[in-house]
Amino acid sequence: MSRTQFFVAVSCTLAIVLVLGVWQFIMPSESDSGRPTWDEWTRLLLLKDYNTRVVTLGASLLGCAGGIVGSFTLLRKRALMGDALSHATLPGIALAFMAANALGMSGKSLPVLLLGAVATGLLGVAAILLIRNLTRLKEDTALGAVLSVFFGAGVSLLGMIQQMETAAAAGLKGFIDGKTASMGMQDTTLITVTAIICIGCCVAFYKHFKLLCFDEAFAAAQGFRVVVLDIALMALVVAVCIVGLQAVGLILMIALLVIPAAAARFWTQRMSRMVVIAAVLGAVGGMAGAGASALFSKLPSGPMIVLVYAGFFVISMVFGPQRGLLLRWRRRVRLNRSIDRQHLLRAIYEVLDLSGQRSTKDAPPFATVAQLLRRRSWSPWRLKLAIARACRAGDVQQIKERVELTESGLAEAARLTRQHRLWELYLINYAEIAPSRVDQDADAIEHVLEPQIVARLESLLASSQSEFPESPHELAPAENAFLTRAAHGA
């Protein structure tokens, strides 16, 4: 099992434990008929109940399709397109219900309602594209305008439907809030067919959608029809949104398209793995949310699915092995420690340079703690930690107030000082930085130097520099260095 697969498995397990296990302890006792019994847990895990199987299958397949399609829309920077489309379907549902009743048909017919949702959903897509292409408004403005206008029209139409005699039989509000727990085999079959079609299209046109997401101009140059691909991707978004109305409703539909894909982004840098992880998170989240609603009758299924996705996202954001906050914090700590080590060694070397003790055979080269404190803007506590880490690394050894360089530490200090001065000379000769400020500018960039860059600097400055270049500016005495650096804003 790879590291990515391990972290995905851990995240799924933690999310299920958070959603199901926590509620097991905070709900009332079994005597109050509130906490699920172990028999109910067993029936849920083994999917013994017919309704549980139907709902779980539908929710997991919908989440899987939403995760895959949402990965492309997220990378395409159209994550909110699903939100606008889901809200744009509401007036179509209302109009389809009104038209069906006017024609003497059943207003509760799911195909009729979904047909109306598709019509206004596609109309919303067209409106967004027209506003973006025919005006100077950006796409987010078009999304906001279409979302609010269509949703407002839908709410108005629902108000009109409430005045109709058949309004009580409509049940249209289920499309707003979702009705996962009441899904039947017909709904699950529709979700299954749509999910298979969407997943199949994404697999078949993976290369095309990948080019569309990352480099639209390059895709057009390679002969791909970008407009057709864009329309195809939006058609998949429309399909997922339409069938998702049955599960989580149009308000929460955006969660199925955005959250699994956004959570998967923290786990990998490769798009193929991201799509797979998003599909797994979407399927597991739908299954866990539907299971939680089956165990606790007072919990609605749609919001529970979204909350499980939110748990996945939080875990991914913190523990993700590629972009997680914990990893970034560890990298920042390592970088800061590396910078402190380099500053310490270079500060000791510059003290030796000023005193003429760069190479001493009688005694190891050293600097005092007081000299180091005055040379850089360190606090005593930070300097103490830097010296302790350098001692563990074998670069220095501390004897009371003396910080002595070891043989390897002296070589490393000389290398770092030479590297720093190469940058100073380059900035003076090629970037026209004033010598009085060049130390500060070189200090900000020298810590990311690669060997190839150092070799390039050496070749640029070979004609004018000796093997170990002298400092291009006067080294401030140790006791005045802190004031000099503070004057330059370091």
Q: Are residues 338 and 315 both part of a single domain?
A: no
For residue 125, what pLDDT is reported? 80
Contacts of 160 (CB under 8 A, 6+ apart): 94, 98
Domain final residue pick, 300, 323, 346:
323
pLDDT value, residue 25: 47
pLDDT tens readout for residues 326-377? 888 888 888 888 888 888 888 888 888 776 665 545 667 888 888 888 877 7
Half-sphere exposure of residue 488, counting CA atoms within 13 Å on the CB side? 19
Q: Which residue, 267, 298, 323, sits at the end of a domain?
A: 323
What is d(CA 337, CA 114) in angstroms, rounded to the nearest whole number? Answer: 59
At 274 the pLDDT is: 92
- Of 378, 468, 471, 384, the closest CA to residue 424 belongs to 471
- Judge if 387 and 243 occupy the same domain: no
Task: Please give the backbone phi and psi of residue 333, each rounded to the nearest 5 degrees, phi first.
Answer: -65, -45
Clarify whether residues 272 and 247 are in a common domain: yes
* 217 shares a domain with 346: no
- Which pLDDT does position 430 carry in this prediction? 67
Do 248 and 389 lie in a common domain? Answer: no
Residues 390 and 299 placed together within one structural domain of the fold: no
Examine the domain organization and report whether 317 and 410 are in the same domain: no
**Higher pLDDT, residue 11 or 86:** 86
Amino acid at 46: L
Taking only the tens place, the pLDDT of each residue in 431-475 is: 666 666 656 555 665 555 566 666 766 666 554 545 566 666 666
Domain with residue 381: its CATH number is 1.10.10.10
**Residues 172-184, buried b or exposed e (16+ Cβ, 10 A)?**
bebbbebbbbebe
pLDDT for the residue numbered 398: 87
Q: Which domain holds residue 214?
A: 3-323
- Determine contact, residues 448/327, Cβ cutoff 8 Å: no
Dihedral angle computed from the Cα positions of residues 324, 281, 236 and 130, in that order, rounded to the nearest 10 degrees:
-30
Rounded distance between C-alpha atoms, residue 5 and residue 110, angstroms: 39
Q: How crowded is residue 140: how many other Cβ atoms within 10 Å of its Cβ?
A: 13
Same domain membership, residue 294 and residue 356? no
Same domain, 350 and 202: no
Reported pTM: 0.73
Instruction: Look at residue 298 and give its three-state secondary structure.
Output: coil
Question: Can you give the length of the chain in residues?
Answer: 490
| Residues 251 and 395 occupy one common structural domain | no
Concatenated DSSP letters of 188-208: HHHHHHHHHHHHHHHHHTHHH
| CATH of residue 273 | 1.10.3470.10
pLDDT at 30: 46
- For residues 338 and 219, state if they share a domain: no
Cβ contact 369:403 at 8 Å: yes
CA dist 419 and 335 (Å) reads 18
Q: Are residues 217 and 355 in the same domain?
A: no
Among 36-40, 203-207, 295-299, the range of highest mean pLDDT: 203-207
Number of domains within the chain: 2
Q: Which of 283, 301, 323 is at the close of a domain?
A: 323
Q: Sign of dihedral through CA atoms 116, 121, 127, 129?
A: negative
